[in-house]
Chain A
Amino acid sequence: MKILVGLKHVPDTETKVKVADDGVSLVEAGIKFVMSPYDEYAVEEALKLKEAAGEGEVLLVCAGPESATATLRQGLAMGADRAVLIQDPRFDRADGLVRASALASVATQESPDLVLLGKQGVGTDESQTVPMLGELLDLPHVSAVGTLEIVDGRFTAHREIEGAVEVMEGSLPAILGCEKGLNEPRYASLKGIMQAKKKTIDVRSAADAGIEDGALGEGKMVVWEKLDLPAPRSGARILEGEIDDQVVELVRCLREEEKVI
Chain B
Amino acid sequence: MGANVLVFAERREGSLKRPALEALSAARSAADILGGSVVVLALGSGAAAHAEELGKHGADRLLTAEAPWLDMYVPEAYAATLAAAAGDVDAGLVLVPATSMGKDMAPRVAAALKTGMLSDVTDLEASADGTLRCTRPVFSGKANAIVAIPAARPAVASLRPNVFPVKETGGGAAETGSVEPALAEDKVRVRAVRLEKPAEAELDVAEASVIVSGGRGIKGAENFKLIRELAEPLGAAVGASRAVVDAGWIAHSHQVGQTGKVVSPNLYIACGISGAIQHLAGMSSSKVIVAINKDPEAPIFKIADYGIVGDLFEVVPKLAEAVRNLNS
| A interface with B by C-beta (< 8 Å) | 11, 13-17, 19, 24, 37, 95-97, 100, 122-136, 139-144, 146, 158-171, 174, 180-181, 221-230, 232-233, 235-239, 243-244, 246-248, 250-251, 253-255, 258, 260-261
Number of A-B residue pairs, CB cutoff 8 Å, is: 268
B290 touching A250, Cβ below 8 Å: yes
Closest A residue to B206 using CB positions: A162
- Chain A residues contacting B203 (CB-CB under 8 Å) are 163
B99 touching A97, Cβ below 8 Å: no
| Binary A-proximity of B177-220 (CB < 8 A = 1, otherwise 0) | 00000000000111111111110011110110010000000000
A251 touching B308, Cβ below 8 Å: no
Closest B residue to A158 using CB positions: B196
B120 touching A125, Cβ below 8 Å: yes
We find that the number of chain B residues with CB closer than 8 angstroms to chain A is: 96
Q: In this assembly, does B167 line the interface, its C-beta being within 8 Å of a C-beta of chain A?
A: no
Q: In this assembly, does B104 line the interface, its C-beta being within 8 Å of a C-beta of chain A?
A: yes
Within the complex, which residue of A24, A169, A222, A247 is in contact with B315, where a contact is CB–CB below 8 Å?
A: A247
A-B pairs, top 6 by smallest CB distance, nearest first, are A170-B190, A221-B116, A236-B307, A140-B190, A135-B111, A131-B108
Within the complex, which residue of B207, B306, B318 is in contact with A162, where a contact is CB–CB below 8 Å?
A: B207
In whole angstroms, what is the CA distance A171 to B189 when docked?
6
A261 touching B143, Cβ below 8 Å: no
Interface members, chain B 83-125 (any A CB < 8 Å): 99-101, 103-108, 110-112, 114-120
- Chain A residues contacting B303 (CB-CB under 8 Å) are 233, 236
Q: In this assembly, does B29 line the interface, its C-beta being within 8 Å of a C-beta of chain A?
A: no
B195 touching A166, Cβ below 8 Å: yes
Give the distance to chain A from B244, nearest Cβ to Cβ, in Å: 15
A165 touching B108, Cβ below 8 Å: no
In whole angstroms, what is the CA distance A171 to B281 when docked?
35
Within the complex, which residue of B116, B143, B278, B305 is in contact with A227, where a contact is CB–CB below 8 Å?
A: B143
* Given contact pairs A37-B259, A169-B190, A228-B146, a sample of 20 additional A-B residue pairs in the complex whose CB atoms are under 8 Å apart: A13-B278, A13-B281, A24-B145, A95-B116, A125-B139, A127-B119, A140-B188, A141-B104, A165-B196, A167-B195, A168-B190, A171-B189, A221-B115, A223-B147, A236-B291, A238-B296, A247-B322, A250-B308, A254-B288, A258-B288
